[in-house]
Amino acid sequence: MRIPLWSRLRLAPRIIIVIIGGLLAMKAVDKLMPLAIRPPEIMFFDRDWLLATLREARDRSMAVPAAERPALLQSLAAGRWLDFTALTTPPAFRHTSRTGAFADLRLQIAATLGLSPQDVLLMADDLDDPEYSPRTLVIILPPLPIVMMDVLDERRDNLLSSDLRIGIRIGPDDWLLVMPKSDGQETVRMIRNVVLPVLAVAMIALLSVWVARGIVRPLDDLAAAAEKLGRDRELSLVGNFNAPELQAIGSSFNAMQLRLKRFVDDRLQMIAAISHDLRTPLTRLRLFAEYVPDQDQKRQVLSDISDMEAMMSATLTFASNQLKDEPRGIADLAAMLISLCDTAADAGRAVSYDGPDHAGLTCQPIAIRRAFTNLIDNGCKFGDAVRVSLRDSADAIIVTVADNGPGIPADQVETAFRPFTRLETSRNRDTGGTGLGLTIARDVILAHRGTIELSAATPSGLLVTVTLPRTGA
């Protein structure tokens, strides 16, 4: 939902507006709540009147049989403000005010009624904010006159409780429970006290999520576009951001994408053009090599020409990005690896496969075949034996290619993936190459949203771990 002028505001004013709006909303709910739910009643009791009323209720209860006490207590004049209940067991609370004004009140009640302090129980809950009390509030006043604010502020002499209960012994096992008159709204107010903070938190959370999504969504778009640019080397322009700062970031990011794409395309096109143009002179050289009289020199020249043609082929494959343009389809990755291992074994290489006979995967078959061909060939160049294994699971297919060669130092793993980089610096035709094998393999794996990791094999050599998710399309 778009709000007029909202998209023109910067992020700082938006956050300030949300904070102030949340506070105002909480205040509005706080003020409107009493209109829907009546606040608790407040009863003012004179201390001397309360003592006299308790003495009257106890004396009259003790003067009649236990069966007549409920009717007698209902007829008391103080029943308009107090509830009197006759019990045959002690009240279900203990005296809770050991010190302070309510403790003094308990002793005064016991002295007025001629009882020991153990025969009087008093419970009084103090509440910091009387407005949120679920029960009737009771204020016990000293002799009047008195200022109202003194009643609320001076708790030492003026007793205020949100849950006053007084128990008085009237027999060996009989008690009289005295409580303020209930208005029947306690449950509703308790629900209000729970719902009000929950509602306030929910309102602030909704406003915060709304603003946060407006900030996070563009950042997610930027992250996705950056990931796509790094994986596929394709533009993924972003826009339609609803904040000036984010619009500036999006514009800068789009401009950066265009410059990077142009920079990479120009250089790849130059590499492709050079590689393509070299085919003609190489063809002439191959023709001239046929007339070299010395057979050893002839084989050496033809071998060098073949190496150059292989380097150009790999360079053209990397530069043209043609592997990534291949349509996707379902391929049997296990059968493909078995075929590659058999081909290498037929060429005299010690290559073995361990895994299931079939493992279907939605992928670009030619690109995936090229990637694993490069990994197996790389292992054959530097090791005497290569072990290929496949593990199939519901979420991904994991392929490992391990050799027993010298391996790659941990600090050179990232260097090994760089284009035209060879960690083996000799020009030996058995270990030499274009330096594009791992680069092409990683590009293909990343294009399938997979991962490729290089680590040390046991007991020696290089272990290449490729993880291809089934949702990599």
Tokens standing for 255?
């401009």
Mapped onto helix, strand or coil, the DSSP state of residue 245 is helix
Half-sphere exposure in the Cβ direction for 264 (13 Å, CA): 16
DSSP letters, 259-327, are HHHHHHHHHHHHHHHHHHHTHHHHHHHHHHHTT-S-HHHHHHHHHHHHHHHHHHHHHHHHHHTGGGGSP
Q: Which two tokens stand for residue 339?
A: 């075929």
Beta bridge partners of 86: 176
pLDDT at 177: 93
List the domains of the chain with CATH numbers: 42-184 (3.30.450), 322-469 (3.30.565.10)
What confidence score (pLDDT) does residue 335 get? 94
Residue 427: its pLDDT value, please? 38
**385-442: per-residue pLDDT in tens?**
999 999 998 889 999 999 998 888 888 888 888 776 666 544 344 545 566 788 888 8
Mean pLDDT confidence for 191-202:
77
pLDDT confidence of residue 231? 66
pLDDT for res 138: 82
Mean pLDDT on 195-203:
77
What is the average per-residue pLDDT within 63-68? 90
Q: Give the separation between CA 315 and CA 270, rounded to whole angstroms.
A: 11
The C-alpha atoms of residue 442 and residue 230 are separated, in whole angstroms, by 12
State the pLDDT at residue 210: 76
Flag whether pLDDT at 163 surpasses 90. Answer: no
The per-residue pLDDT for 399 is 95
Give per-residue pLDDT as tens, 339-368.
Answer: 999 999 988 899 999 999 999 999 988 889
Sheet-wide strand order for 159-161: 42-46, 137-141, 159-161
More confident residue, 332 or 295: 332
Could you tell me what percent of the chain has a pLDDT over 70?
Answer: 83
- Reading the block at residue 113, the tokens are 């009624």
Q: Let me know: does 143 contact 45? Beta carbons within 8 Å.
A: no
Contact 173, 189 (CB under 8 A): no
Average pLDDT for the chain: 80
With contact defined as beta carbons under 8 Å apart, do 370 and 440 qualify? Answer: yes
For residues 380 and 403, give the distance between their C-alpha atoms in angstroms, rounded to a whole number. Answer: 7
pLDDT band at 62 (very low <50, low <70, confident <90, very high): very high
Tens digits of residue pLDDT in 204-235: 788 778 777 777 777 788 888 877 776 666 77
Q: Which tens digits make up the pLDDT trace of 44-53?
A: 888 889 999 9
Chain position carrying tokens 């004004």 = 101
Residue 400 is predicted with a pLDDT of 95
- pLDDT reading at 248 higher than 90: no
- Six-digit token string for 132: 């949120």
- In this predicted model, which residue has the larger pLDDT, 121 or 237? 121
pLDDT recorded at residue 5: 62
Angle 11-36/186-232 helices, nearest 10 degrees?
160
Nearest to 175 by CA among 60, 61, 50: 61
pLDDT digits (tens, 9 = 90+) for 18-55: 778 777 877 777 777 766 677 777 888 888 899 999 99
331 closest CA partner among 372, 375, 380, 389: 372
Closest CA to 49 of 118, 141, 138: 141
Whether pLDDT at 17 is above 60? yes
